[in-house]
């Protein structure tokens, strides 16, 4: 078969494309096509290879500093991302049955959220009975209870079993500070004791967590999430270094639990940008082999999920998993699509789990190495996010660091402003949540709700020192319930 020849086609320059666009606008300015994100980034509708000329990371390779393109040269060929799932089951025995079924059907990592009622070592034993812990990494995050949970693990498992554990049982007191506005004065001392204890019994297990869930679920944008993640990580490095740990040890014990948002390309760029930002921090600390210290667990967010047309959440979970996978994370955790409606069943959990299996086994993303590389839109977004997040991180440092910024309420106020914009845009129809404020499957569709800026939650007050999770669909759900259109 003869090769296709394009010699008969005249090459087209970028300026020619722009001229054609301007003609189609019929007098409107080209800037009318720009889209402003909640991060303050203007999305250009016509990305072009010329946009890559001044982007330094564009010439980097997978497995090389700044690790924006992945921490290994072989990408997912070396190891596919771990498949985890949020099992929203409270009873330890029922949790165990669901977990064993999930592990037999493709799940490859274990997560345990705060809903599981663990009150003593017996509950821990019931929750993880007959699980091959040496095969499945633990990915656990807690703002306050992790040291207690680890204590139950020591009294439950044999020395050999403890030694075989991998993953992370992460303690994260900074998230507790952001959520509640308070943190014990000895929180970092407790963290140091936790790290020492885990290191003594389970040397392969991480013990420090940085989670962005408290910020993301309260409405934060991607720049804020990135800046707060690296600020929290650096805060833990400093605190533990002051308590006798060397930086080499601490960085191997630190895992990042990052939430996934709704904007596909922005989220791909966010995960890629994060690796480069953290690598820059580690290089500044004279840590040579940064790639071994980049552990990223991606967790599906909750703020864009709805009880209305709940099957739409399944599509949202799909785009979240896709963006995290293309972004090159180490593990992905998805909740069942009907979680906003209450406790889920085996069917909904299976669908959410199979989303990741389809991406790995059918879409075959694990056969690609940084598939977003070279795409002008993604590469430019990555660069823009990284620059903006680094600038925001420096501002946090100049204000005395993350602890001081949280205690002053400055971080909470900034996130509250973004959350208010998100609510306002949905209320007015300037933003769309499919199945909620547009394309609603109801005879009495409601496409707008009243918005009162003075009636927003305390998290949006400049004097507040707490963050409250939001679910953007709730006002619409309430009106649908009142109108008798269902919930």
Question: Residue 474 forms beta bridges with which residues?
Answer: none
- Residue 5 pLDDT grade (very low, low, confident, very high; cuts 50, 70, 90): low
Tokens of 64: 């090389």
In order of 61, 268, 366, the CA distances from 370 in angstroms are: 9, 10, 10
In order of 63, 76, 466, the CA distances from 178 in angstroms are: 34, 34, 6
Handedness of CA 472, 475, 481, 486 (dihedral sign): negative
pLDDT value, residue 367: 93
Long-range CB contact pairs, 283-286, < 8 A, 24+: 283/65, 285/237, 285/247
Question: Residue 333 forms beta bridges with which residues?
Answer: 84, 299
Residues with Cβ within 8 Å of residue 24, at least 6 apart in sequence: none
Residue 383: HSE in the Cβ half-sphere, 13 Å Cα cutoff: 18
Count of CB atoms within 10 A of residue 217's CB? Answer: 20
Residue 35, H or E segment: strand 35-36
Q: What is the CATH number of domain 62-386?
A: 3.20.20.240
pLDDT digits (tens, 9 = 90+) for 225-242: 999 999 999 999 999 999
Q: SS3 for 434?
A: strand
Would the pLDDT of 450 be above 60? no
- Concatenated DSSP letters of 102-134: HHHTT--SB---TTS---SHHHHHHHTTT--TT
- CB 100 within 8 Å of CB 130: yes
Cα–Cα distance measured from residue 343 to residue 453, given in angstroms and rounded to the nearest whole number = 33
Largest CA distance in the chain: 75
pLDDT value, residue 409: 94
pLDDT value, residue 53: 78
Count of CB atoms within 10 A of residue 462's CB? Answer: 12
In order of 99, 115, 153, 228, 360, the CA distances from 86 in angstroms are: 10, 10, 20, 24, 19
Per the model's pLDDT, the better-predicted residue between 484 and 137 turns out to be 137
Count of CB atoms within 10 A of residue 448's CB? Answer: 14
pLDDT digits (tens, 9 = 90+) for 102-154: 999 999 999 988 788 999 999 999 999 999 999 999 999 988 889 999 999 99
- CB 446 within 8 Å of CB 435: no
Q: Mean per-residue pLDDT for 435-455?
A: 64
pTM above 0.85, yes or no: yes
- Average confidence score pLDDT of the chain: 89
pLDDT value, residue 449: 57
Domain residues of the chain, as ranges? 62-386, 409-483
Cα–Cα distance measured from residue 385 to residue 249, given in angstroms and rounded to the nearest whole number = 29
In order of 17, 25, 319, 346, the CA distances from 349 in angstroms are: 46, 47, 17, 5
pLDDT value, residue 86: 86
Nearest to 234 by CA among 185, 311, 293: 293
Cα–Cα distance measured from residue 401 to residue 395, given in angstroms and rounded to the nearest whole number = 9
- Residue 289 pLDDT grade (very low, low, confident, very high; cuts 50, 70, 90): low
Cα–Cα distance measured from residue 168 to residue 402, given in angstroms and rounded to the nearest whole number = 23
pLDDT value, residue 263: 95
Tokens of 245: 């740990």
pLDDT value, residue 487: 44
Tokens of 213: 């869930």
pLDDT value, residue 453: 47
In order of 7, 8, 10, 12, 13, the CA distances from 4 in angstroms are: 9, 11, 15, 18, 21
Handedness of CA 357, 362, 368, 371 (dihedral sign): negative
Would the pLDDT of 455 be above 60? no
Nearest to 378 by CA among 264, 246, 227, 228: 264
| Phi, psi (degrees; rounded to nearest 5) at 86 | -85, 105
In order of 187, 215, 234, 476, the CA distances from 239 in angstroms are: 10, 22, 9, 44
Q: Mean per-residue pLDDT for 248-273?
A: 95
Strand ranges in 144-273 using DSSP code E only, listed in sequence order: 167-171, 205-211, 254-260
Q: SS3 for 26?
A: coil
């Amino acid at each position: 078969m003869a090769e296709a020849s394009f010699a008969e086609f005249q090459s087209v320059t970028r300026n020619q494309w722009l001229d054609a666009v301007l003609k189609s606008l019929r007098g409107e300015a080209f800037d009318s096509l720009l889209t402003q994100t909640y991060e303050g980034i203007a999305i250009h509708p016509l990305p072009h290879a010329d946009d890559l000329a001044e982007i330094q990371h564009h010439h980097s390779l997978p497995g090389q500093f700044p690790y924006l393109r992945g921490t290994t040269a072989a990408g997912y060929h070396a190891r596919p991302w771990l498949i985890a799932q949020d099992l929203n089951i409270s009873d330890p025995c029922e949790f165990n049955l669901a977990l064993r079924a999930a592990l037999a059907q493709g799940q490859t990592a274990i997560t345990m959220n705060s809903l599981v009622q663990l009150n003593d070592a017996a509950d821990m034993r019931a929750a993880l009975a007959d699980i091959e812990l040496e095969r499945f990494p633990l990915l656990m995050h807690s703002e306050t209870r992790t040291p207690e949970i680890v204590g139950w693990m020591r009294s439950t498992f044999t020395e050999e079993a403890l030694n075989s554990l991998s993953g992370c049982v992460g303690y994260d007191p900074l998230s507790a500070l952001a959520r509640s506005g308070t943190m014990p004065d000895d929180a970092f001392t407790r963290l140091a004791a936790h790290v020492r204890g885990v290191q003594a019994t389970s040397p392969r297990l991480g013990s420090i967590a940085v989670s962005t869930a408290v910020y993301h679920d309260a409405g934060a944008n991607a720049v804020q999430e990135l800046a707060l993640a690296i600020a929290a990580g650096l805060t833990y490095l400093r605190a533990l270094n002051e308590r006798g740990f060397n930086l080499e040890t601490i960085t191997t014990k630190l895992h990042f639990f990052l939430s996934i948002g709704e904007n596909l390309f922005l989220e791909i760029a966010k995960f890629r940008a994060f690796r480069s930002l953290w690598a820059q921090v580690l290089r500044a600390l004279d840590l040579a082999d940064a790639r071994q210290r980049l552990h990223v667990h991606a967790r599906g967010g909750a703020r864009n999920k709805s009880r209305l047309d709940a099957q739409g959440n399944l599509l949202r979970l799909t785009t979240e998993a896709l963006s995290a996978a293309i972004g090159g994370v180490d593990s992905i955790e998805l909740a069942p699509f009907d979680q906003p409606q209450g406790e889920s069943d085996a069917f909904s959990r299976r669908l959410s789990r199979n989303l990741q299996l389809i991406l790995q086994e059918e879409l075959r993303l694990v056969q690609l190495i940084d598939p977003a590389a070279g795409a002008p839109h993604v590469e430019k977004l990555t660069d823009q996010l990284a620059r903006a997040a680094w600038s925001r991180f420096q501002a946090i440092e100049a204000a005395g660091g993350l602890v001081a910024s949280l205690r002053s309420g400055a971080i909470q106020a900034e996130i509250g402003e973004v959350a208010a914009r998100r609510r306002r845009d949905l209320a007015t129809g300037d933003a769309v949540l499919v199945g909620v404020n547009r394309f609603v499957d109801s005879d009495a569709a409601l496409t707008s709700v009243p918005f009162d800026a003075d009636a927003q939650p305390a998290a949006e007050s400049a004097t507040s020192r707490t963050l409250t999770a939001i679910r953007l669909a709730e006002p619409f759900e309430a009106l649908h319930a009142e109108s008798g259109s269902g919930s």
